[in-house]
C-alpha cells in the first residue's frame, strides 16, 4: 500500500494537547485504577429535555432531510439576535451580523483563514485555548503572545504591547470568562480593548464560550455590549456550555458585518450549513425556558465552592475562579506543571491539565475542571490530601 505524506501545513500543526492528556489517563485506567478526570472541559450533564424533544420532532420532518440554505435558516439567526437583545441589550441584524457555525472551535479556526494572509500577525492570550494556534498555523500567519498574569487579573496589558507590534497586528483573540484561568473581563477592560483595536485597526475575536458561567452573582459581560465593539470585532457564542450541547456542534458568530460575510463566504465553499433539526433545536434552546441554564450555573458554583474550600483546608493556597468551569491552581514549590500533573495522575489517579499546555505563561499552574459531580471532586481532594504536599489548615 502506498503511504502518502501529509502536506507541510498539516505537519506544522501543533500537537493536540488534550488528545495526549486523554491517552496518558487511559493507560492508567487500563491498569485497573479508578481515574478521576478533571483535565478536560466536557460538560457532564445532559442537554435539557425540551431541547432534545425539539430535535426529535424536527428530525421527523422530511423538510429537514433536504439540504438547508447554505448560510443557515433565518429562524436560527433571528433567534440568536433575540437572545443577544434579551441577555445583553445588544441589537444585531440577523442576516448581516450573525453567521451560523459548526461549533465554536470551527469558527475560531475559520476566522483566521478569512482575515489573515501568510505572515500576518495575530495577538493571542498566553495562557490560552490551544486551537487559536491551529487556525493561525493553517493560515501560515504569525502569532504574538499577550501574557496573562495574576498581577493584571489575567487580562492583557495593552500598554506592554510595543507600538511597532500593535501597528502590524491584524487580529486579536480574547476569551472571557477565561479558559484556563477562570478570570472575567471588566467593563473598563473591554472599553480599553475597543480603543486599542480602533487605534490600530485590529479585528477583535472574542471567544464567549463560557458566557453563562459567572459566579457570586456577577453575569459575564459580552464584548458587544461595549460601545464601538461592532466596529472592530465579533463574538463567537457556542451553545456547548450554556445548554450542555457540546456534541451537537452548533454555535454562531455575531458582530462586524464584514467579518460575518467573510465567514459565510468561506463556509459557502465548505458546507451546506447544519442539519435543519439541529438548527430548530438550537433556536428552541435560545428562545425557550432558561431554568436549566440557571440550574447549571448553581451546580458549577456549588462544585467550585466545594473544591476550593477543600483544597484550602488541606493547605493549598488557591484562588476561586470568577467564571468558567475551570479552576487555575498554582503548583507546589519544586514542581513544574507537567511534573505535578504527572504526580497526581500516577499517585492519586487524578487527571489535571498542565498549564504549560496553554502557553509559556501557563507554567506554574494546573487547570482543574468542575465537570464532575461533588462526590468525585471531594474524592479528588481527599486523594490529593493523601500525598501530604501541603500543611493542612484546621478550623
The confidence band for 18, taking pLDDT boundaries of 50, 70 and 90, is confident
- Separation CA 188–CA 185 (nearest Å): 8
pLDDT recorded at residue 116: 97
Confidence of residue 281 (pLDDT cuts 50, 70, 90): very high
Task: Average the pLDDT over 119-147 and give the result.
Answer: 96
> Exposed, middle or buried: residue 163 (CB in 10 Å: 0-12, 13-18, 19+)?
exposed
How far is residue 33 CA from its own chain's centroid?
A: 30
Residue with cell string 489517579: 349
CATH number for the domain running over 49-287: 3.40.640.10
Q: What cell numbers appear for 236 in the block?
A: 463567537
For 283-341, write each residue's pLDDT tens digit: 999 999 999 999 999 999 999 999 999 999 999 999 999 999 999 999 999 999 999 99
The whole-chain average pLDDT of the chain stands at 96
> Per-residue pLDDT tens for 101-125?
999 999 999 999 999 999 999 999 9
Q: Which residue(s) pair with 172 in the sheet?
A: 123, 204
Span 161-180, pLDDT tens digits: 999 999 999 999 999 999 99
What are the start and end residues of each CATH 3.40.640.10 domain in the chain?
49-287
Scanning the chain, the segments in alpha helix (DSSP H) are: 8-12, 17-30, 49-59, 74-88, 104-115, 131-138, 163-168, 187-200, 229-232, 239-242, 257-268, 276-287, 291-313, 337-343, 374-386
* CATH code of domain 8-46+291-386: 3.90.1150.10
Gap between the Cα atoms of 18 and 42, Å rounded: 11
- Residues 80, 81, 87, 90, Cα dihedral to 10°: 140
Q: Which residues have CB under 8 Å from 138's CB, separation 6+? A: 9, 13, 109, 112, 113
Amino acid at each position: 500500500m502506498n503511504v502518502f505524506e501529509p502536506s507541510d501545513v498539516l505537519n506544522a500543526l501543533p500537537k493536540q494537547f488534550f488528545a495526549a492528556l486523554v491517552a496518558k489517563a487511559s493507560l492508567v485506567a487500563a491498569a485497573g485504577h479508578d481515574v478521576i478526570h478533571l483535565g478536560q472541559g466536557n460538560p457532564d450533564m445532559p442537554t435539557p429535555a425540551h431541547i432534545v424533544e425539539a430535535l426529535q420532532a424536527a428530525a421527523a420532518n422530511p423538510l429537514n432531510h433536504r439540504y438547508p440554505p447554505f448560510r443557515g435558516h433565518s429562524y436560527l439567526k433571528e433567534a440568536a439576535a433575540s437572545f443577544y437583545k434579551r441577555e445583553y441589550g445588544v441589537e444585531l441584524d440577523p442576516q448581516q451580523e450573525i453567521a451560523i457555525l459548526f461549533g465554536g472551535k470551527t469558527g475560531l479556526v475559520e476566522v483566521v483563514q478569512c482575515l489573515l494572509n501568510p505572515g500576518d500577525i495575530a495577538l493571542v492570550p498566553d495562557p490560552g485555548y490551544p486551537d487559536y494556534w491551529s487556525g493561525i498555523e493553517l493560515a501560515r500567519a504569525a502569532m504574538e503572545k499577550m501574557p496573562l498574569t495574576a498581577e493584571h487579573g489575567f487580562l492583557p496589558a495593552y500598554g506592554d504591547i510595543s507600538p511597532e507590534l500593535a501597528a502590524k497586528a491584524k487580529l486579536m483573540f480574547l476569551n472571557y470568562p477565561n479558559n484556563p484561568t477562570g478570570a472575567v473581563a471588566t467593563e473598563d477592560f473591554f472599553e480599553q480593548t475597543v480603543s486599542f483595536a480602533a487605534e490600530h485597526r485590529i479585528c477583535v475575536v472574542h471567544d464567549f464560550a463560557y458566557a453563562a458561567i459567572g459566579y457570586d452573582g456577577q453575569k459575564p459581560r459580552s464584548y458587544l455590549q461595549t460601545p464601538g465593539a461592532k466596529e472592530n470585532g465579533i463574538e463567537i457564542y457556542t451553545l456547548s456550555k450554556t445548554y450542555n450541547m457540546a456534541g451537537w456542534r452548533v454555535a454562531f458568530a455575531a458582530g462586524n458585518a464584514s467579518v460575518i460575510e467573510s465567514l459565510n463566504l468561506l463556509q459557502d465553499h465548505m458546507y451546506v450549513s447544519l442539519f435543519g433539526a439541529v438548527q430548530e433545536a438550537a433556536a428552541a434552546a435560545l428562545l425557550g425556558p432558561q431554568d436549566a441554564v440557571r440550574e447549571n450555573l448553581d451546580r458549577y458554583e456549588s462544585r467550585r465552592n466545594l473544591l476550593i474550600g477543600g483544597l484550602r483546608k488541606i493547605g493549598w493556597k488557591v484562588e476561586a475562579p470568577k467564571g468558567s468551569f475551570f479552576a487555575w491552581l498554582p503548583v507546589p514549590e519544586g514542581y513544574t506543571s507537567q511534573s505535578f500533573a504527572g504526580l497526581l495522575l500516577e499517585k492519586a489517579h487524578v487527571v489535571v491539565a498542565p498549564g504549560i499546555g496553554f502557553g509559556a505563561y501557563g507554567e506554574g499552574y494546573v487547570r482543574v475542571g468542575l465537570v464532575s459531580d461533588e462526590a468525585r471532586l471531594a474524592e479528588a481532594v481527599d486523594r490529593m490530601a493523601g500525598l501530604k504536599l501541603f500543611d493542612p489548615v484546621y478550623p
